[in-house]
């Protein structure tokens, strides 16, 4: 959520940057917000004045009662009746205006960073870095879903029986590889200085709002209506919400957390080759890294996070590229996002395995996550997060890129965790 003050004072800049995100009706909505805000302050002034008057009278009555001047007190009481009605009207007006402003603010996406390339589709993303060589596979190389069946690593049909499509069952070495990835990623993150947390995987409405999933992305989350809880789509939600309604000390920053959780996504509207095998699941596992940072440092930290994720992919010996997302392909809440994509040789396509973003104060404004600066003022912190990493597509590309006629070779870094070097 953008800050009202910022919109008021930097209207032109806001409009310019919203255009990069291809946000329609920007001018109409922004103008409306500014008008409502002007109105809000006027009504608030009226409300406050009436309340001040009523407070003063109430005080007088108190003093008169104490000194036994009952009649005088009664005559003042009569005056307050009128104020009471006014107070109620103004209060209601104010509430309505505030709701209207909030309803509009929630529709406005975050402003992209000045370096974000313009563009509308993934084709407009900027490829800023490539690493590794795409392996040449032997004749008869097959995609991971066939490898999974051949070596009995993942049973998609069994998942359908138990739950439905998109809920695979990992078996034997497949399950062990999942566990290896979890420990490998968590160990790496901890060594980088991230503190591991194990949060709940269901969250309440406030948490869903805090990181921006609610209200607009409601349909993407599994909702347990009986208890009004949501299954998390990413550990970003519970971990970032740790810092909801918190005023940090400047010396606490940056806060670095990591956590492993299963993630649940309804993925309504997905179909075809996108959802084949491990490409897109309803339940998957991920280690997430989250930082709460000083606004002056957040872009430096974003680069560190990007490099950290790249180092994981290098450790796993996977060919990958890094994209700087264009305005049109960025998420609602992000100010700058890097996507990391691994090349899946058997599918002959790039698979997104990580997304690293700086949200600046967009989330923290909703979360009310602030810190006290040197001058004693409270300032919104910046929040950042990244996948480090999501398991399914990593597993898919390891299986596909490392297949040989003899079996599948496990990357060296993962061998101590997996406990085996080959799947054959």
Q: Which residues make up the interface to RNA (CB under 7 A)?
A: 5, 41, 44-45, 47-49, 51-52, 54-59, 61-62, 65-66, 77, 80-81, 84, 247, 370, 372, 376, 378
Pairwise CA distance, residues 406 & 408, whole Å: 7
Give min distance, CB of 106 to RNA, in A: 17
Q: By C-beta, is 59 or 138 nearer to RNA?
A: 59
Q: Are 402 and 410 in contact (CB under 8 A)?
A: yes
Would you say 54 or 141 has its CB closer to RNA?
54
Residue closer to RNA, measured from CB, 47 or 279:
47
Closer residue to RNA in complex, CB, 51/176: 51
Residue placing its CB nearer to RNA in the complex, 55 or 198: 55
Residue 420 · residue 173 · CB < 8 Å: yes
- Smallest distance, Å, CB 146 to RNA? 38
- 84 or 349: CB nearest RNA: 84
Q: Which two structure tokens, joined as six digits, stand for 321?
A: 């590229």
Strands 407-409 and 403-404: antiparallel
Backbone φ, ψ for residue 140 (5° rounding): 85, 10
| C-beta separation of 294 from 254 below 8 A | yes
- Which contiguous run of DSSP H or E holds residue 378? strand 378-380
Smallest separation (angstroms) from RNA to the CB of 68: 12
Q: What are phi and psi of 250, to 5 degrees?
A: -55, -35
CA atoms within 13 A on the CB side of 189: 29
User: What's the min distance (Å) between Cβ of 75 and RNA?
Assistant: 11
Nearest residue (CB) to RNA, 57 versus 142: 57
| Smallest gap from residue 372 Cβ to RNA (A) | 6
Tokens of 397: 């590309």
Q: CB of 51: closest distance to RNA in angstroms?
A: 4
Phi, psi of 195 (to 5 degrees): -85, 130
The pair phi, psi for residue 182, each rounded to 5°, is -60, -50
Nearest distance, CB of residue 80 and RNA, angstroms? 4
Q: What percent helix, strand, coil does the chain show, rounded to 5? A: 45, 20, 30
| Nearer to RNA among residue 65 and residue 165 (C-beta) | 65
Q: What minimum distance in Å lies between the beta carbon of 77 and RNA? A: 4
| 196 three-class SS | strand
């Amino acid at each position: 959520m953008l800050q009202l003050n910022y919109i008021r004072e930097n209207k032109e800049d806001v409009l310019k940057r919203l255009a990069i995100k291809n946000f329609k009706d920007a001018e109409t909505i922004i103008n409306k917000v500014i008008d409502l805000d002007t109105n809000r302050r006027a009504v608030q002034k009226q409300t406050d004045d009436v309340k001040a008057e009523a407070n003063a009278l109430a005080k007088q009555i108190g003093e008169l009662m104490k000194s036994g001047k009952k009649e005088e007190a009664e005559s003042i009481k009569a005056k307050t009746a009128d104020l009471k009605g006014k107070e109620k009207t103004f209060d209601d007006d104010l509430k309505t205006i505030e709701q209207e402003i909030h309803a509009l603010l929630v529709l406005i996406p975050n402003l992209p960073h000045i370096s974000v390339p313009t563009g509308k589709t993934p084709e407009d993303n900027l490829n800023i870095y490539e690493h590794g060589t795409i392996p040449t596979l032997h004749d008869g190389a097959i995609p991971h879903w066939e490898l999974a069946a051949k070596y009995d690593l993942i049973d998609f049909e069994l998942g359908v029986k138990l739950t439905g499509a998109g809920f695979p069952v990992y078996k034997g070495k497949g399950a062990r590889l999942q566990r290896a990835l979890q420990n490998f990623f968590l160990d790496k993150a901890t060594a980088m200085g991230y503190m591991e947390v194990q949060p709940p995987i269901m969250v309440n409405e406030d948490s869903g709002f805090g990181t921006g999933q609610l209200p607009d992305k409601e349909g993407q989350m599994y909702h347990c209506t009986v208890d009004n809880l949501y299954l998390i789509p990413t550990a970003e939600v519970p971990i970032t919400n740790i810092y909801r309604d918190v005023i940090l000390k400047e010396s606490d920053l940056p806060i670095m957390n990591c956590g492993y959780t299963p993630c649940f996504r309804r993925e309504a509207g997905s179909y075809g080759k996108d959802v084949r095998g491990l490409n897109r699941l309803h339940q998957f596992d991920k280690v997430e890294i989250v930082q709460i940072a000083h606004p002056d440092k957040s872009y430096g930290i974003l680069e560190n996070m990007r490099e950290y994720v790249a180092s994981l992919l290098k450790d796993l010996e996977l060919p990958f590229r890094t994209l700087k997302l264009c305005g049109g392909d960025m998420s609602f809440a992000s100010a700058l996002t890097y996507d990391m994509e691994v090349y899946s040789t058997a599918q002959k396509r790039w698979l997104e395995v990580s997304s690293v973003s700086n949200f600046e104060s967009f989330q923290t404004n909703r979360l009310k996550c602030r810190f006290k600066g040197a001058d004693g003022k409270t300032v919104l912190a910046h929040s950042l997060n990244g996948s480090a990493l999501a398991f399914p597509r990593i597993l898919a590309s390891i299986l596909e890129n490392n297949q040989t006629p003899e079996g599948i070779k496990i990357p060296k870094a993962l061998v101590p965790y997996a406990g085996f070097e080959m799947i054959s």
